[in-house]
Amino acid sequence: MSMLGKKQIRHYIDKMELFAQTVRITGWAIALSGRSVEYQVTDRTGRKVETAVRRLDRPDASISVFGDVRRRDCGFDLKFSCDMGEKYIVSISDGRSRVRTAVYPGELLREQSRRFVSLKKMVRMTGFPMVKNDLRCLVKEGPSALKAQWEARYETEENKYEKWLCRHRLTDMPPLSEEPLISIVVPVYRTPQQYLREMIESVWAQSYENWELCLADGSGVWKETEEILREYAEQDKRIRYQILGENRGIAGNTNAALAMAEGAWVGLLDHDDVLEPSALYEAARAVNSHPEADILYTDEDKVTMDLKLHFEPHLKPDFNPDLLRSNNYICHFFLVRRELAGQVGGFSPDYDGSQDYDFILKCTERAREILHLPRVLYHWRSHPASTAGNPESKLYCFEAGKRALKAHLKRTGTAGTVELNREHPGYYHVRYPVRGEPLVSILIPNKDEKETLQACIRSIKEKSTYRNYEIIVLENNSETEEIRQYYGQLEKDGVRVVRWKNKFNFAAINNFGVSHAKGEYLIFLNNDTEVLSPDWIEGMLGNCQRPEVGVVGAKLYYADGTVQHAGVVMKLAGVCGHVLCGLEGYDPGRDARAVVQQNYSAVTAACMMTKKEVFDAAAGFSEVFQVAYNDVDFCLKVREQGYLVVWNPQVELTHYESKSRGYETTPEKAERFEREKALLKERWPMYMEQGDPYYNPNLTLTAPDCSIDYERDGWR
């Protein structure tokens, strides 16, 4: 895996298709060096696969990267024959750097099968080996087995999701104690008649009746729209509209609709999207229970233009400020108190294209309480020309979002630079500058592991661009002469070695190390780690210096380049677990969660920074957790004091994991592990009962991949 390559080569895959036994991939790739790039496909063993590559003219991509057409031949059309059960890696390289994309033909088949509406298309997708297998199944096991085989083959994420969504639609709606007026605000601009009608009728179909629909039409002379609005307004006095006579832009049209609103709450709805019938009822029920709430947002999904297929559900966490600075994850369905919407000045034309992102940022800055309703209540109509269907189609939106984020940082008095993620359009990274040059103490426990420790310390010294740090090795009853001699060398080189003489207790050893630390900031680091990012200390320190942040964690990889740590989720795997563990290192994960900075309930102390004053206020690591969960417990204590825990994916290290103490292989170790697990559950019952606020309750707790829990019949 090339860490450098991710930055030196920009690329985008427009389409990936499977026809019979052939994969076809089209897109573009540009090396920032200006060198020509080459393409190669290998299977899981590393064997090269014969590949046909045709270069395409893509001046748009060259302009996007360089501002001119110097590399207009950067497009590609790539084909190769495949086996359905195989995994392939497509590598793009300029001879110095490379990026890689994993291709799973079996998953590609399942993804494409959601588009099947005829036997003809299925036949087109099915290769001869599949037919042979089907015939063999039919002859040996009969029609029922063949049916099951076909269902398994063509059962897709979308098919499963569609069934799941139907099972989760709300049917029981008892009366509410209060029914506030909710104003649905819609900017209209030359909306296709069918889409406009379906949007209006989705509001009309609401089970909750105390609403008004405020529509501002900027279509100009587009009379068809006005006729439809008049038709519905004449049928229902709750539907009101205004003809603007001209297009004022997205922000201007929305402000006109907002000015019409009279409700206590305002909800934002796009002119071609639709609401779930229970959306307003569930929103009203939620705000009834939270009188201090100023904002409420829900989960959402996408829906095809004909409204027949729902897909790509976005199941969000509770309010996650660092995730919001990485992406407008709140998006739809967004409701805000009308009074607050007025206080922030509505929508700004300066951010057209991302005016909703700017508005949401401004509202969250002032809100008393922000509610998340973990229900899919908004359906975002997706088509190829929209940013929902094709992220590259509206790059201006992402640039507007970047400016909105900069303005947000300025309003909140936060120093930071905003970077647009070119590999994942629509996502950002806020880099917080280091103030001054405070001393950072790096604490590394060790027992006997000379070569492991040596590699760790070498990577720190050779790669770190931040220089004001001290390394303290926490010696834990080593027995070899070799390690004693190495400690002597380290001490001559300025590394401090402090000796823990009691029995092994990870929490106690680190507490002991902190008593010897001189730094204002502490990094707890396992000896079996190696630094990959030269600015790893700055990436943690810039975050940790923020007054609201108490702990910062890193992205850790196994030796094979797969993800070892991308944040800790409570209740995962029974008590807590590493989310996205095992993901390919170059895979962004569901909703790009593997590549964006965000908040978690906890991070691992294999590489974790905290302020010395925060560590002391939390009374350090709880020594009852001798081996496991001491870092999780510490993070939860810090969160209890009101601090955020931040995970920064740009701080990257390799973690070889558990070399010093080994795994829980003896009955004694296993018993201790279970005891500490029970203690964590007992100490933090709210997480065991309510779940993790940074992990949607409708996601699985039995796997780390953030997939939907399809086994559950009701909403959590």
The enclosing domain of 86 has a CATH number of 2.60.40.10
Residues in a beta bridge with 268: 185
Sign of CA dihedral 381, 383, 388, 394: negative
Residues in a beta bridge with 241: 215
Note whether 276 and 376 are within 8 A (CB).
yes
Note whether 594 and 583 are within 8 A (CB).
yes
Half-sphere exposure of 49 (CA within 13 A, CB side): 26
pLDDT of residue 134: 81
Residues in a beta bridge with 593: none
Task: Determine, yes or no, domain membership for 208.
Answer: yes
Residues in a beta bridge with 79: 24, 52
Domain boundary among 109, 138, 173: 109
Residues 6+ away with beta carbon under 8 Å from 216: 186, 187, 188, 241, 242, 244, 253, 254, 256, 257, 260
Indicate whether 341 and 473 sit together in one domain.
no
Task: Determine, yes or no, domain membership for 146.
Answer: no
Indicate whether 461 and 359 sit together in one domain.
no
Task: Determine, yes or no, domain membership for 702.
Answer: no
Note whether 149 and 134 are within 8 A (CB).
yes
Indicate whether 602 and 484 sit together in one domain.
yes
pLDDT of residue 664: 52
Residues in a beta bridge with 500: 476
Task: Determine, yes or no, domain membership for 589.
Answer: yes
Nearest to 537 by CA among 418, 652, 419, 417: 652
Indicate whether 458 and 599 sit together in one domain.
yes
φ, ψ (nearest 5 deg) of residue 692 = -90, 125
Indicate whether 338 and 473 sit together in one domain.
no
Indicate whether 462 and 364 sit together in one domain.
no
Task: Determine, yes or no, domain membership for 667.
Answer: yes
Note whether 649 and 596 are within 8 A (CB).
yes
Domain boundary among 92, 109, 126: 109
Residue carrying the six token digits 């002859």: 139
Map residue 120 onto helix, strand or coil. Answer: helix
Residue carrying the six token digits 């402090």: 498
Nearest to 181 by CA among 208, 210, 213, 215: 210
Task: Determine, yes or no, domain membership for 236.
Answer: yes
DSSP result, 180-224: --EEEEEEESS--HHHHHHHHHHHHT-S---EEEEEEE--TT-HH
Alpha-helical regions (H) of 205-306? 223-235, 249-260, 279-289
Task: Determine, yes or no, domain membership for 90.
Answer: yes
Residue span of the structural domain in which 545 resides: 440-690
Distance CA 446, CA 660 (A): 7
Query: Cβ atoms within 10 A of the Cβ of 623, count?
Result: 15
Indicate whether 380 and 455 sit together in one domain.
no
* CATH of residue 261: 3.90.550.10
Residue carrying the six token digits 């303290």: 472
pLDDT of residue 540: 98
Helices (H) and strands (E) in the chain, counts: 23, 31
CA distances from 244 to 187, 207, 220, 381, 473 (A): 10, 31, 7, 25, 70
Q: What is the number of structural domains in the chain?
A: 3
Residues 6+ away with beta carbon under 8 Å from 617: 641
Distance CA 112, CA 523 (A): 46
Distance CA 71, CA 79 (A): 22
CA distances from 503 to 450, 506, 670 (A): 20, 10, 18
Indicate whether 96 and 238 sit together in one domain.
no
Indicate whether 476 and 598 sit together in one domain.
yes
Indicate whether 638 and 491 sit together in one domain.
yes
pLDDT of residue 662: 46
> What residue type is assigned to position 273 of the chain?
D
Map residue 345 onto helix, strand or coil. Answer: coil
Distance CA 451, CA 483 (A): 9
Residues 6+ away with beta carbon under 8 Å from 180: 210, 263, 264, 265, 284, 287
φ, ψ (nearest 5 deg) of residue 496 = -90, 135
Instruction: Give mean pLDDT in consecutive 10-residue pieces for the chain, a chain of 716 residues.
Output: 53 79 88 91 92 83 76 89 88 90 82 48 58 83 80 65 88 93 97 96 97 96 91 97 94 98 98 97 97 98 91 96 98 97 97 96 98 97 53 76 98 97 89 98 96 97 98 95 96 96 95 98 98 98 98 96 96 94 90 96 98 98 96 98 98 79 64 93 96 97 92 63
Distance CA 487, CA 483 (A): 6
Distance CA 323, CA 329 (A): 7
Indicate whether 453 and 377 sit together in one domain.
no
Task: Determine, yes or no, domain membership for 114.
Answer: no
Distance CA 599, CA 320 (A): 6
Note whether 361 and 370 are within 8 A (CB).
no
For the chain, give the number of residues: 716
Domain boundary among 109, 126, 146: 109
> What residue type is assigned to position 606 of the chain?
A
pLDDT of residue 385: 38
pLDDT of residue 7: 61
Q: What is the helix, strand, coil percentage profile of the chain, to 5? A: 35, 25, 40
Which H/E stretch holds residue 369?
strand 369-381
Indicate whether 461 and 525 sit together in one domain.
yes
